[in-house]
Each structure stands twice: as structure tokens, then as C-alpha cells.
Amino acid sequence: MTVYFDRVALTTESVLQANPSGEPDAAGRLFAKDGLLIRRGTVFDLVVADESRGKATIGWGSPGKRTNHLRIHGCDPKSNSQVHGSGDWLAYAGGYWVAAPACVGLVVEADTQETDARVAVGTACPPLNGPPPMPSG
């Protein structure tokens, strides 16, 4: 997992398995289950990037409500039975809904900072720097 602003950890180094969601909505045809790790007491936003809007939604909790913008308000596990964890990091069940396998772009916002993240849902994300590698042979 990759930690952003010491507040949230996302799975960015492996491809998440995308399975049929059972939902009739074409934009949520596939679901990739993935935990969301949140540092206790922190505030941040997790936003589906413009290039992934209409193709992907996110959601965590029980039940996970699909959204394009998740706002975390400093989780307190004593007041929320959906939170799992007793240390500095808390885990939530949920994941990503996609129309088709995709590299889902996200924006992580904390205070006045923001950074991009990419999560591979059913397919690998292309390299960030430069063109894709040339096939060998």
C-alpha cells in the first residue's frame, strides 16, 4: 500500500481483482474489494479524478455507498462499529466499482495539499513516466 500525507493508504502496487458486482448499473458492472486504511483522527478527501468520472466510483463502510468524493472527518472507532483496528491505523471494507477493467485515477486532498493516485482495477496501470515499454522480441 502507498501512504499519502500520512493519513490514508491505498493499494497502488498490485492489480485488484474485478468481479461482477451483480448491479444493473453499467458504470458499476464490476467491483474490486479493497480495504481503506485511515490514520486515526485525520481529515482528508479522496476524489475520483476527472479522467475516471463516469467510469468508476468508490465506497467504504457497511454498506459502502458509491460516490465520486469521499470526505473523512477524523475517524473515532469508539463511536463507529464499522471501524476495525485498535492502533494508529483503522481499516474499512469497501472498494471500487468500474464499468470495465480500468486504471482508476484518484486525487488525495489534505489541508492545502493534493496529489494524484492510481489504482489498478482488473488491469495494470501504465507507467507514470514516459511511453509504455516496447514489446520484446
In a domain, 133, yes or no: no
**pLDDT in the model for residue 11:** 95
In a domain, 18, yes or no: yes
pLDDT higher for 133 or 25? 25
Is the per-residue pLDDT at 35 higher than 60?
A: yes
Work out the average pLDDT over 2-9: 95
Per-residue pLDDT of 87-133, as tens digits, reads 789 999 999 999 999 999 999 999 999 999 999 999 999 887 655 55
Is the per-residue pLDDT at 77 higher than 60?
A: no
Work out the average pLDDT over 12-20: 95
Is the per-residue pLDDT at 79 higher than 70?
A: no
In a domain, 137, yes or no: no
By residue range, what is the domain housing residue 54?
Answer: 2-121
Instruction: Please give the tally of structural domains in the chain.
Output: 1
74: domain CATH number is 2.60.40
What nine digits make up the cell of 20?
461482477
In a domain, 16, yes or no: yes
In a domain, 127, yes or no: no
In a domain, 99, yes or no: yes
